[in-house]
Amino acid sequence: MTSFLRPALVCFAVLTALTGVAYPLVVTALSQAAFPHEAAGSLVTVNGKVVGSELIGQHFTDPKNFWGRPSATAPAPYNAAQSGGSNLGPLNPALADAVKARIEALRMADPGNTAPVPVDLVTASASGLDPHISVAAALYQVQRVARTRGLRPEAVQALVAQQAEGPLLGFLGEPRVNVLRLNLALAGLHTR
């Protein structure tokens, strides 16, 4: 029996050391050397203070800020420890009710805006953590943000265009805007 047990335990120990310790350490060291910003979580800092990550959305509710996609994470929006969608199908009445409530909230925040509401402002992403919105969703919010901040709508619209990111690799996906980056750039605009 020991002739079988000893080689199995040695093999287990060696593979654990290789795949559980050595490999993760090597990959971590290489990623930190080659991609230090990304390996550190793509953190966004302002005046030396971390204010968020480029990869995880934040729950902005102040009308002076651009709002991101709704988040279905629990117990709080954009909870990275509970990443996931709502799992509500397109025919589920709960999803329809949630979308109606979100549209109503957007209309109440900007009563003069009669434009169609972009779908990404009323539906959560699959992860519930998406930090981006479409350019259309950002443009939909320009009038509200400009009015509440006392800015010219043209200046806010130009800021959206400046912050817009093209499709990944030039052809994957749609142009988008990182909400955190947009709100940080917005904080730098002067009032009229």
**Does residue 153 register a pLDDT over 90?**
yes
User: Do the Cβ atoms of 130 and 69 come closer than 8 Å?
Assistant: yes
**Does residue 84 register a pLDDT over 90?**
no
CA dist list (Å): 9 to 6, 16, 17, 21: 5, 10, 12, 17
**Does residue 137 register a pLDDT over 80?**
yes
Please state the domain extents for the chain: 1-40, 42-187
Residue 101: its pLDDT value, please? 96
Residue 3: its pLDDT value, please? 83
Per-residue DSSP letter, 168: B
Residues in the chain: 192
Output the pTM of the full model: 0.83
Give the chain's mean pLDDT. 92
Residue 23: its pLDDT value, please? 96
Tens of pLDDT, residue by residue over 23-42, are 999 999 999 999 999 888 89
Q: Tokens 């912050």 sit at which residue?
A: 163
What's the average model confidence in pLDDT over 80-102?
A: 90
149: its two tokens: 């901040």
Residue 192: its pLDDT value, please? 43
Q: Assign 86 a pLDDT band (cuts: 50, 70, 90).
A: confident
What's the average model confidence in pLDDT over 59-80?
A: 92
What single letter denotes the amino acid at residue 118? P
Q: Which residues contact 188 (CB under 8 A, 6 or more apart)?
A: none
Residue 150: its pLDDT value, please? 94
